[in-house]
Structure 1
Amino acid sequence: MESRETASVEHKLPAELLVGLPFYTALTAGLFGAYFSRLLYIQTTAGSMSVGELKTAKEFTSIFLRGVVGMCGALVVFFFLRSGMVSGKLFPEFAELSVREGAVPLFGAEGLEKGSIRQVLPSQALALLAIWCFLAGFSERLVPSILSSTEQTLGDAARGTKK
């Protein structure tokens, strides 16, 4: 009997279904990161927040703006990673961004196959991109830190070429 892992069937998804996938992955991950950060903050400080702070936390504009800031941070990280200024195992290889479609067989009580479930999984590179963009939305200091260190590097390079 085959294991569930070896029994999965892989198919290539049509390229037209994947247009914009990295960009939308970045936006969505940044949005989730920003909202997750905000939920954790509210959860840990709700007991000590004033009534005014609680009112502000539930206002639509406050929630919306928090998400927009997270998406903007994720886009900065997306383009920073896409530029190729950094590389290594911790950073996504954009040429390898993809998804894989497979089928996981379902087994009945006696081990007989009863059909399968379709699944779509991201490549390692796409998962890394999502993690970096989630962190950009989650952390209020990550993107400003990247921008200031890049600014410093560019300033040093410019001063070095003006000799």
Structure 2
Amino acid sequence: MTPGTAIATGLEAAITKWTIAGLGALLVAVTLFPWFTARNDGGSAQMAGWGAWTMTGDVNAGLRPLPLAVLVYLTVGVMVYGALRGAFGVAVVGAMATFAAGLLPLMVMPLVDRNTPGGSAVAVDVAAAPKLVIAVGLIASIVCWIGYARCVLRPSPRAEE
């Protein structure tokens, strides 16, 4: 490997590491948006990523807390840790797990609303955070795969004669 190739490879790996770390920070920031919204005639509510509901008015329903952002924090941590350590295969697994954690709210939406006896009907919707986690998680997965392919799977250079 020539010195110029080694510098280019090291620079490419460093840029990839910090790009993945930046995407991880963006994913953590995205989890601060609401995960679920609920509303009925008496009021509305929003669920934060750690599961706490903030209510306006009287929603008159049992809303279960689901701390889904904790799963995103764990998977983003794996992704960033793998990238910063140069283990891009681990970063790929973390990014794909983050994408999957973003899909969870769509699958567990029926678990959020618990009808109470004498309570009114409540409309529960997936809010902005899961959609943004899915979008940024997909981008992070693509970047991690490219980093893995460019920094790990790259064929070794031919020896100069």
Q: Same fold (TM over 0.5)?
A: no
Relative contact order, higher structure (CA 8 A, sep 6+): 1
TM-score (norm 1): 0.30
TM-score (norm 2): 0.30
